[in-house]
């Protein structure tokens, strides 16, 4: 029996036999061609591209029943990659000018692109190289007349183990045949992770060399509630996990049934529970899970999806759809949080040594006022179609918020002159996700209508721990006393200065962290990824705010993460009912 530990990508428990997807790399031979061969070689290359395109369209079609909007958004850019001048023209160029065979030309183009991606630090964009790899692989198989091993031929339910899964593999997954999956690569922001959770297939990712530790046919268990994978488990473990799986299904269904009930505490305070979205397509799922508005719309995904700047009109249409679909609830549109090395194409800036500390978010927008203005105008125009609010990310000084507001005011003046309707009283807020913004919360309160605390970045910047770096992941501690003190300070400052405060970082989605946050003061809303909503709502219905405040006062006296964790596990985790899991109660 072997046990592996990975990253949770999509919750659930899967029990079954392993199917190891072995994708061997095709070895490519370099061959110099004759001038007379150039035309034929180019045609062979283009025919392979066309054939790959045909198969990709077919596989999107085959997976059509499963295709969530999210997945569609991911697959279509894949098809577009086959029109990408860098990929296609560069390969043709190598055939024509360097007189190389088509396979070698394609490999050289890919190697060059991959080198460029190597320099990208942002994990989300870095991982996009796998999308290009998947497409190149398809064309290469066509060129060499080889068949790619895929999931389309699965006839029995299995647990898939793979180095990585392309979005095409996942498009072919139906929950009937794929009970769950485990991959070697992938971080929390990888497409594999995003897709797994939208298909609701249990998945654990990021276990290096797992495909060497398991063979097709081995009995396996994936516990995607704690991130554990068991290969060849004992009978006793089978029994335990079978029970755990039944409980999970049962509790998930039960939680779902109550997800429309408000999150009102035992002592009568109602907390608004909202959803974080990356695309307007996520709204439907979030609403089904009981979301009462959108607490964070990460609009950068709208910008990076097609790797170009959407114009004001396109953005207006999107924000209008968001406003209308969520009305009468509110939607907080966060202005662009990208910059530095995050994207190529229209956005290109010089690569930065420290992109997390570089020209990103509000800094990027203030440096590119035309981009910023188009987004502000689009939000303002859409604001008459529902209850839209606007929020600025990564603010670290009063000057920034003033400059952003000046641009907002001038966009309003323009629209007024153009006689275009907009909501003059639109609420304007900021994220508190830099230590400087947190320390100056009292002063910032004079300038904005609301704060939304971004704990993901606030923890990263406060503790100086890169949130995407596996090597220091154990030091990324929401329970570090410095984090707790700073959060407490911000919530108090907001309350004392009558500015609404919410939390939209990942801490909101964990019941025990949510308990701490609510005990720190008057927190109006918690915003989280949709599938955590039913759990957090139910948890809040079982707690008293009065007690939470008393516990927070005691926790504020503690100096060690370990003591705070122990305190929460001893005193608060008994409030978790079955099916509600917290990362604090997971054994390491």
Active site residue 365: no
Terminal-residue alpha carbon distance, the chain = 18
Answer yes or no whether residue 511 interacts with Mg ion by CB under 5 A.
no
Q: Which stretch binds Mg ion (CB under 5 A): 77-85, 174-182, 406-414, 451-459?
A: 451-459
Answer yes or no whether residue 477 interacts with ligand PEP by CB under 6 A.
no
Collect all residues with Cβ–Cβ distance below 8 Å to 188 and sequence separation of at least 6.
7, 9
Collect all residues with Cβ–Cβ distance below 8 Å to 181 and sequence separation of at least 6.
159, 160, 161, 162, 165, 173, 196, 201, 203, 222
Min dist CB 36 to ligand PEP, Å, is 55
220 binds, among Mg ion, ligand PEP, none (CB under 5 to 8 A by kind): none
- 253-272: which residues touch Mg ion (CB under 5 A)? none
| Identified catalytic residue from 130, 141, 191, 488 | 191
- 391-450: which residues touch Mg ion (CB under 5 A)? 433
Min dist CB 121 to ligand PEP, Å, is 14
Long-range CB contact pairs, 115-121, < 8 A, 24+? 116/344, 119/341, 119/351, 120/341, 120/342, 120/351, 121/341, 121/352, 121/354, 121/355, 121/356
CA 248 to CA 243: how far, in whole Å?
A: 9
Min dist CB 300 to ligand PEP, Å, is 8
Which CB, 143 or 283, lies closer to ligand PEP?
283
Min dist CB 95 to ligand PEP, Å, is 42
Q: Please give the C-alpha separations between residue 265 and each of 515, 523, 580, in angstroms, as whole numbers.
A: 11, 13, 17
CA 230 to CA 320: how far, in whole Å?
A: 47
Answer yes or no whether residue 505 interacts with ligand PEP by CB under 6 A.
yes
CB-based closest residue to Mg ion = 457
Active site residue 531: no
DSSP string, 305-364: TTTS---HHHHHHHHHHHHHHHTTSEEEEEP---BTTS--GGG-----S-GGGSSBHHHH
Answer yes or no whether residue 454 interacts with Mg ion by CB under 5 A.
yes
Residue with tokens 């995607």: 224
Residues 504, 514, 526, 555: which binds ligand PEP (CB under 6 A)?
A: 504
- 346 C-beta neighbours (distance < 10 Å), count: 10
Answer yes or no whether residue 457 interacts with Mg ion by CB under 5 A.
yes
Q: Is the peptide bond before 328 cis (omega within 30 degrees of 0)?
A: yes
What binding mask, one character per residue, do residues 297-316 give for ligand PEP by CB under 6 A, x or -? -x------------------
| Identified catalytic residue from 141, 289, 504, 531 | 504
- 21-80: which residues touch ligand PEP (CB under 6 A)? none
Which CB, 341 or 433, lies closer to Mg ion?
433
Answer yes or no whether residue 300 interacts with Mg ion by CB under 5 A.
no
548 binds, among ligand PEP, Mg ion, none (CB under 5 to 8 A by kind): none
Min dist CB 455 to Mg ion, Å, is 9
Phi, psi of 313 (to 5 degrees): -65, -45
- 394 C-beta neighbours (distance < 10 Å), count: 23
Min dist CB 381 to Mg ion, Å, is 26
- 445-464: which residues touch ligand PEP (CB under 6 A)? 454-457
Instruction: With beta carbons less than 8 A apart as the criterion, state whether 401 and 447 touch.
Output: yes
Answer yes or no whether residue 189 interacts with ligand PEP by CB under 6 A.
no
Point out which residues bind ligand PEP (CB under 6 A): 296, 298, 337, 433, 454-457, 504-505
The residues that are catalytic are 191, 504
Point out which residues bind Mg ion (CB under 5 A): 433, 454, 457
């Amino acid at each position: 029996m072997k046990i592996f530990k990975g990253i949770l990508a999509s919750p659930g428990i899967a029990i079954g036999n392993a199917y190891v997807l072995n994708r061997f790399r095709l070895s490519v031979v370099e061959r110099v061609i004759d001038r007379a061969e150039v035309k034929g070689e180019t045609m062979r290359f283009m025919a392979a591209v066309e054939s790959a395109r045909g198969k990709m369209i077919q596989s999107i079609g085959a997976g059509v029943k499963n295709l969530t909007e999210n997945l569609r958004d991911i697959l279509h850019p894949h098809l577009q990659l086959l029109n990408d001048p860098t990929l296609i023209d560069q390969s043709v160029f190598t055939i024509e000018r360097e007189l190389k065979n088509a396979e070698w030309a394609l490999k050289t183009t890919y190697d060059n692109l991959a080198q460029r991606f190597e320099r990208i630090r942002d994990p989300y964009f870095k991982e996009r190289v796998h999308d290009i790899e998947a497409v190149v692989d398809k064309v290469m198989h066509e060129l060499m007349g080889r068949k790619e091993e895929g999931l389309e031929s699965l006839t029995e339910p299995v647990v898939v183990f793979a180095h990585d899964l392309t979005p095409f593999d996942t498009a072919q997954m139906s929950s009937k045949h794929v009970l769950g999956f485990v991959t070697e690569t992938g971080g929390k922001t990888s497409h594999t992770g995003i897709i797994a959770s939208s298909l609701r297939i249990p998945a654990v990712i990021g276990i290096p060399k797992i495909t060497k530790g398991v063979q097709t046919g081995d009995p396996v268990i994936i516990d995607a509630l704690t991130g554990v994978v068991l290969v060849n488990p004992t009978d006793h473990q089978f029994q335990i996990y079978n029970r755990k799986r039944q409980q999970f299904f049962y509790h998930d269904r039960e939680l779902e049934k109550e997800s429309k009930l408000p999150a009102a505490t035992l002592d009568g305070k109602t907390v608004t529970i909202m959803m974080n979205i990356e695309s307007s397509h996520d709204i439907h799922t979030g609403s089904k899970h009981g979301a009462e508005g959108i607490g964070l719309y990460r609009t950068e995904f709208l910008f990076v999806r097609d790797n170009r700047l959407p114009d004001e009109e396109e953005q207006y249409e999107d924000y209008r759809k968001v406003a209308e679909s969520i009305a009468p609830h509110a939607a907080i549109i966060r202005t662009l949080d990208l910059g530095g090395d995050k994207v190529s194409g229209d956005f290109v800036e010089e690569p930065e040594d420290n992109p997390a500390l570089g020209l990103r978010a509000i800094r990027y927008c203030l440096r590119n006022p035309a981009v910023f203005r188009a987004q502000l105008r689009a939000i303002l125009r859409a604001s008459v179609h529902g209850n839209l609010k606007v929020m600025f990310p990564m603010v670290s000084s009063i000057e920034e918020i003033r400059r952003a507001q000046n641009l907002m005011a001038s966009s309003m003046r323009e629209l007024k002159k153009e006689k275009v309707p907009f909501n003059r009283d639109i609420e304007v807020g900021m994220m508190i996700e830099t230590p400087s913004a947190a320390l100056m919360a009292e002063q910032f309160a004079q300038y904005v209508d609301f704060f939304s605390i971004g704990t993901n970045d606030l923890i990263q910047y406060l503790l100086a721990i890169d949130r995407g770096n596996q090597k220091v992941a154990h030091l990324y501690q929401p329970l570090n006393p410095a984090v707790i003190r700073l959060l407490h300070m911000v919530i108090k400052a907001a309350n004392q200065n009558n500015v609404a405060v919410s939390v939209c970082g990942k801490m909101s989605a964990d019941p025990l962290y949510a308990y701490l946050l609510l005990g720190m003061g008057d927190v109006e809303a918690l915003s989280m990824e949709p599938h955590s909503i039913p759990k957090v709502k139910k948890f809040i219905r079982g707690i008293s705010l009065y007690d939470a405040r008393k516990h927070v006062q005691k926790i504020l006296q503690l100096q060690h993460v370990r003591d705070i964790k122990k305190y929460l596990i001893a005193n608060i985790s008994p409030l978790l009912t079955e099916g509600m899991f917290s990362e604090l109660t997971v054994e390491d």
